[in-house]
Amino acid sequence: MEVLMPEPQIYVERTLAIIKPDVIDKEEEIEDVILRSGFRILQKRKLQLSPEQCSNFYAEQFGKMFFPNLTAYMSSGPIVAMVLARNCAVSYWKEMLGPSNSLRARITHPHSLRALYGTDELRNGLHGSVSTSSAEKEIRFIFPEAILEPLPTGQRARDYLNLYVKPTLLAGLTALCKEKPAEPMIWLADWLIEHNPNKPKLQYRVSQQEPQQ
C-alpha cells in the first residue's frame, strides 16, 4: 500500500524593518526596493512611539552614550514598521541595510540602504533585527497580535487562547445564537474567517496606542 506522507511545513523566516522618522517621506521608494528584493510585507503599521516606548524597544542599548539621543531621534516623528518574510530574512535584510554608521556605509557599502538614506552614525534611516530571536521580540513589541513560528506551548499557549481564541469564539457563538442561520456550521466558519484577530492589517494612520509586549 502506498503510504501518504503529510506535506512538509515550510518555515518562512521573518524580520522587523523600520523606516525611521527622518526618511519616512521615502516610504514608497523603500518599499519598492524591499519587494523587488524578494521580500513579502506581511504586516505594516505607521505609528509614533513615545520616548518611553523607544527606551523599552532599545532596552539592550541602555547605558550607552548615544542612548538618550537614540530615543529622542526615534520618538521625534512617525515611523513605518513592517514584518518582512523570505528565506533567511534576517541576514538578507541586514545585508541590504549595511553598517549601522551611515558615514562608514558610504565607504564600505555604497549601495546599501543606510548609505543611500542615512545621515550619520545615529540617523541611519532604517532599522533591522540583528537575529531571529531579536526579530521575534521586536515583532511582538510592535505587532502584539502577530503569530510567530514556532507556535507557543505551555503557559504561552494558554495565555494566547485566553487572550484571543476564547473571546473570539464566544463572540462568534453569541452572534450565531442571535442570527439562527439555516447552515450554522458554515455561517460560523465564515464569521470566524471574517473576524480573525490575527488577520494582517495595514494601518496607515498615526497611532498613539502603546504597544504591548
pLDDT of residue 211: 44
Q: Give the per-residue pLDDT at 150.
A: 58
pLDDT category at 193 given cuts 50, 70, 90 is confident
Residues classed as catalytic: 127
> What sign results for the dihedral spanned by CA atoms 50, 58, 38, 33?
positive
Supply the pLDDT for residue 165.
Answer: 82
pLDDT band at residue 147 using 50, 70 and 90 as cut-offs? low
Residue type, 157: A
Return the higher-pLDDT residue of 199 and 46.
46
197-210 residues labelled b (16+ CB within 10 A) or e (exposed) = eeeeeeeeeeeeee
pLDDT of residue 69: 94
Q: What is the pTM of this model?
A: 0.65
143 grid coordinates: 505587532
Task: Using the structure block, give the residue that is written with the C-alpha cell 548609505.
Answer: 115
How far CA 132 is from CA of 108, 178, 198, in Å, comes to 25, 45, 21
Residues 160, 152 contacting (CB under 8 angstroms): yes
